[in-house]
Amino acid sequence: MFWVAAFLALAQGTEVKLGPGGDIPQAIREAGPGGVVTLAGGDYAPGQVAVDLSSAGGTLRSRPGERARLDFGGRGGFYLKADRYTLRDLDILNARNFAVDIDASNCTVEGCRLLGSGGDVIKLSPGPWQSKRYHRGATVVGCEIGGNRQFEGIDCVGHDDVRVLRCYIHDTPGWGVYLKGGAARGLIEDCVFERCGNLPNNPAGGACLGEHTGPDQVMTNKHGEPWESVDGTVRNCLFIDTYSAALAAWCARGAKFHNNTLVNAATRDRASIIVLNNHNLPCRDVAFVNNVVVGSAEGGRPLVWIYTNGVSGGLVFENNCYSGGNGKFWNQQAGGPVDFEAWKASGQDKTSLFADPRLDGDFRLTAESPCVGKGKILPGFAVDIDGGRRNGEWDIGADEFGAGSPRRYLGRPEKK
């Protein structure tokens, strides 16, 4: 019995090492449940790589200090159907549709470059929602995501407890990230978004809590009403040159947008921030607090646009700093766009500023910024985009002045 147990222990969780050009699917099968496949640096040309339930708990990674380059050449991609599977430190290039399709719970994509896919870069699915069982717990951390030919950087439909952390997301035709289809308790934190939503005549831009999923049975089955997003959070993120809205609440309940910095937002369409309904259901309990919002002067779009029937109850705008765009704020249900003083008179942003935030070349606060010390202390986090502590009086925006050096992001060129 001892030898049988030892054999099983070895069979489950073994490491398989592979060199350039090796058979990745075969290596995953050989590693077995909980196993590790380690790829030496170099080029691989896999077809479709399906990780099924028999491989739950495993890892596919590059050898430490090296990078494996997996170029699908338009022929396939990763399909994760195994809970607790991890992809680490891989370059995943030119997938036919999704670079990584996650149809399982508690999977992780860490330190990967995911570029050039034909569709969404990462796709997250709801799971067996008809029986009220939903996938949950995906983490995407420290990745470079973008350069895809269609759709979103991260397309999450109904997958709960998704965390997108410290990623560089850029050059996406659609949203950089959206959490929709009833996705609950999602968190987008410490990310940099650049040039997202680059299709013309497109409402897509940076990060959206909600959006449109049809038909609405998934959301109604989960929440009783067809909410696209529930209790999601976007915080400590930097948005640069978004073609449309940098931030959006779209049929969302309990959405929180805290301490983000938006620079040159809405260069062609919509507004820097939009709030709108879907399924005849307005947003509810939505908060925009401590955000720096610099609208595109070229785009000349409003800084905030609340669509007709966009929100019902619990809308909060506090301690933000605005500049640029056309200088207007538009609650469509109340009439046309108005200036900042009229916007404040309507009940929003009474503790906010309309001023140049005085950012440096890395879009961090300078000592002269009027945002220093003007933020609201919020629960749930106490650091900024660079991991620096927020002590005493908080600042407005993703950066806390003097709290640390700008974080390096995989794939993002460093400022000279």
How many C-beta atoms lie closer than 10 Å to residue 44's C-beta?
A: 21
Domain contains 103: yes
Answer yes or no: is 13 within a domain.
no
Inside any domain, residue 345: yes
Q: Indicate the number of domains in the chain.
A: 1
Q: Is residue 226 part of a domain?
A: yes
Query: Is position 317 within any domain?
Result: yes
DSSP letters along 310-374, please? -B-S--EEES-EEEETTS-EEEGGG-S-B-HHHHHHTTS-TT-EES---B-TTSPBPTT-TTTT-
Report pLDDT for 9.
35
Q: Give the pLDDT confidence of 25-34 residue by residue, as tens digits.
A: 999 999 999 9
**What mean pLDDT do residues 273-282 have?**
97
Whole domain around residue 117: which residue ranges?
97-354
Residue 256 contacts residue 232 (beta carbons within 8 Å): yes
Q: Is residue 286 part of a domain?
A: yes
Q: Supply the DSSP symbol for 20.
A: T
pTM: 0.95
Question: Bridge-partner residues for 235, per DSSP?
Answer: 189, 258
| In-domain check, residue 51 | no
- Tens of pLDDT, residues 105-133: 999 999 999 999 999 999 999 999 888 89
201 pLDDT band (50/70/90 cuts)? confident
The band of 13, judged by pLDDT with boundaries at 50, 70 and 90, is low
Q: How confident is the model at residue 214 (pLDDT cuts 50, 70, 90)?
A: confident
pLDDT at 4: 32
Q: What is the CATH number of the domain that holds 174?
A: 2.160.20.10
Is residue 10 over pLDDT 70? no
Q: Over the stretch 348-395, which tens digit does the pLDDT of each residue have?
A: 999 999 999 999 999 999 999 999 999 999 999 999 999 999 989 999
Residue 310 has pLDDT above 80, yes or no: yes
289 domain-assigned: yes
